[in-house]
Amino acid sequence: MRGFHWMMLFTAFFLLIGCTSQQEEDAPASGQTTSEEESTNDNEEASELEPPEAVLQKFDTGEEVSQLKHVLHTIGYDLEDSENFDEALTWALTDFQLQSDDLLASGIYDEATSEEVQAYFENEDTLEPGEGLAMPPEEAEKTEAGTDIVGNPYDELALVNKDFALPGDYTPEDLMVPDVPFPFTEDLPKKYMRENAAHALEDLFAAAEEEGLEMFAQSGYRSFDRQEDVFAANAAENGEEHANTYSARPGESEHQTGLAMDVTSAEVNLELVEAFGDTEEGQWIAENAPEYGFIIRFPEGDEDITGYQYEPWHLRYVGEETAKYITEQDITLEEYYEEQMN
């Protein structure tokens, strides 16, 4: 019986050694992962590279912004890891859009841009960051008048005023004539707007027409040279200081962005005058323009902030989200920027 007992102990000992050896053979070496773990890691990485589905723009915050930054970082853009949609991200998106044949350069992350980013990975494309739009310098360049030059003129939310000017050589690449009434038939540059703004203006005019209102688009895009001539003429007639209260120096005019349009009506003889704000068309515009992405850029009583006199006829396209917010808060674009930057 004692011999049998020892035999049982030896048998159990060898079985234990065999099981341990088999477990060591089956276990992955240090630093290695199992096929199941590798699959999980691959799925996580693919998820991280999945472009967000939301529409995002400058000053937005949240995890989707961080996700977008991660995706663009993978493409090659050196972006700060944060949840803030900052100027750097706006530049990176604009640069990506400019390097695509199918996108409008806006600096806004929309559905079309999301699809193009997805196609970039699926097609294993490559691009060189900065080839579409050079990265803005750390210190802004200045105009002859000492105004800071905007580093990303394609940005649909760009602030252009007496403190921030467009580059002298900037011409929007997506200018088109909106299908709205004009009081003239000639094919003049001032008929044009950037594409997103032009389509929004068409929707705005169509809604006004349904209300029985009759409006006319009077003056849209203006080149640097044209603005230079306009300002020079006004300065010669009224002096530069006074001219600068209602007319912008070249580079400082929103008309050069292609995102602005002056509108009028027959009730004021198709003129651009303050009385337009009291007309039925002017009042309807003030109330409904934000629904189509436009703001009254130079409101009454805010001359000290905007630097310009009240212009109820001057519409600026900033997109529906921003236009509604600015109008609801009863602030100017300058105040919106200040609020978002703080």
Neighbouring residues of 16: CB distance < 8 A, sequence distance ≥ 6? none
- Nearest alpha-carbon partner for 226 in 197, 258, 198, 199: 258
- Among 252, 254, 281, 311, the one annotated catalytic: 311
Q: Is the dihedral of CA 47, 49, 53, 58 positive or negative?
A: positive
- Nearest alpha-carbon partner for 93 in 104, 81, 107: 107
Give all strands of the β-sheet with 294-298 in edge-to-edge order: 216-219, 260-264, 311-317, 294-298
Q: Give CA separation, 95 vs 53, 76, 191, 261, 278, in Å.
A: 20, 12, 27, 26, 43
Task: List helix spans (H) across 27-110.
Answer: 35-48, 63-75, 87-98
Return the SS3 of 156: coil
Q: Give CA separation, 128 vs 89, 132, 247, 269, 276, in Å.
A: 16, 8, 40, 52, 49
Tell me if residue 241 is catalytic: no
- Extract the runs of DSSP E, i.e. beta strands, from the chain: 148-149, 164-165, 175-176, 193-194, 216-219, 260-264, 294-298, 311-317
What amino acid positions are annotated as catalytic residues?
A: 311
